[in-house]
Amino acid sequence: MKRNITSVMKKHVSDLFQILAQYSATDRKSFVAVAEADLVFQKAVLMSVGYIGELSKKMDDSFIQVHPEINWRRLGTSRNIIFHEYDIVDMDIISTVVFKDIFALQNALESIEDELIE
């Protein structure tokens, strides 16, 4: 896998989870509530998910194949909707992407780091 894509992906995933922690959006329900109440949070999350979705399209096929727990198609589609169809963005769907796919991606990226250390 290209390390530059991996390190950039790790940075964007880390930034997203820092945003969630800062706003105490720790589950889907609190995420949607904060997103509906705070436009800055909503825009920060959407940009982060969009960047992650774009990077997901550049990940090596070998990495994608060994991580079927991540819905790669949904990540890419989320990016397209956020950047091109922004009038139909549904924060409930984005919460699924964040708490299911990007959380799984974070775990997968941590395992790569472990492999590189050994």
Range of the domain at 65: 3-108
Q: pLDDT tens for residues 67-87?
A: 999 999 999 999 999 999 878
C-alpha span between 8 and 55 (Å, rounded): 8
The residue-averaged pLDDT of 87-98 equals 91
- 32 occurs within a structural domain: yes
Flag whether 84 is in a domain: yes
* Total number of domains constituting the chain: 1
Q: Is residue 50 part of a domain?
A: yes
Q: Does residue 91 or residue 87 have the better pLDDT?
A: 91
Q: Does the residue 118 lie in any domain?
A: no
In-domain check, residue 100 = yes
Residue 85 is predicted with a pLDDT of 87
**Residue 24 falls inside a structural domain:** yes
Q: Does any domain span residue 116?
A: no
Residue 33, domain member (yes or no): yes
Render pLDDT for 11-63 as a digit per residue (tens, 0 to 9).
999 999 999 999 999 999 999 999 999 999 999 999 999 999 999 998 888 88
Nearest 5°: the CA angle 64, 67, 68 is: 95
